[in-house]
Amino acid sequence: MRRSLVLALIAIAFSASPASAGVVPDSEIRRIINDRASGEKGVGIVVGVIDPRGQRIIATGGFGGKTLFEIGSVTKVFTALLLADMVEHGEVKLTDPAANNLPMPLEDLATHTSGLPFMPDGDITTREQMYQYLREHRPAHSGTWEYSNLGYWLLGDALADRANKDFAILLRKRVLEPLKLHDTTTYPTPAQKQRVAPGFDASLQPARPASSMPGYSMMTAAGIGWYSTADDLLTFVAAALGLRRSSMQPAMAAMLRTTRPVSANTKQALGWLIVGDDHDPLIVHDGGTVGYAASVAWDPKLRTGVVVLSNQFGDVGDIARHVLRPSMPLHERTATKHKEIAVKAATLASYAGSYEASGEGVFVIDASEGFLTIQPPSDWGLPKLRLRAESEREFFVSELPLRVVFQMNDSRVTGIVVYPPRGQKEIAATRIR
What is the pLDDT averaged over residues 151-164?
97
Alpha-carbon span 231 to 363, nearest angstrom = 42
Give the pLDDT score at 333: 66
Alpha-carbon span 400 to 232, nearest angstrom = 28
Compute φ and ψ for 85, nearest 5 degrees: -70, -40
Q: For the whole model, what pTM was predicted?
A: 0.86
| β-strands 412-419, 403-409 pairing | antiparallel
What is the pLDDT averaged over residues 75-80?
98
Amino acid, single-letter form, for residue 407: Q
Give the model's confidence band at 383: pLDDT under 50 very low, under 70 low, under 90 confident, else very high.
confident
Sheet holding 273-275, edge to edge: 54-59, 45-51, 304-310, 293-299, 282-288, 273-275, 266-268, 260-263
Compute φ and ψ for 382, nearest 5 degrees: -115, 145
> Between these two residues, 41 and 53, which has the higher pLDDT value?
53
Residue 330 pLDDT more than 80? yes
* E-state strands within 8-101: 45-51, 54-59, 69-70, 97-99
What would the DSSP string read from start to end of 105-174?
EHHHHHTT-S---SS-SS---SHHHHHHHHHH-PPPP-------HHHHHHHHHHHHHHHTS-HHHHHIII
Half-sphere exposure of 200 (CA within 13 A, CB side): 22
Per mean pLDDT, which range of 67-81, 178-192, 209-223, 320-334 is the poorest? 209-223
| CA distance readout (Å), 137 to 121, 354, 432 | 10, 24, 27
pLDDT tens figures, 351-374: 999 999 998 899 999 999 999 999
Tally of residues, the chain: 433
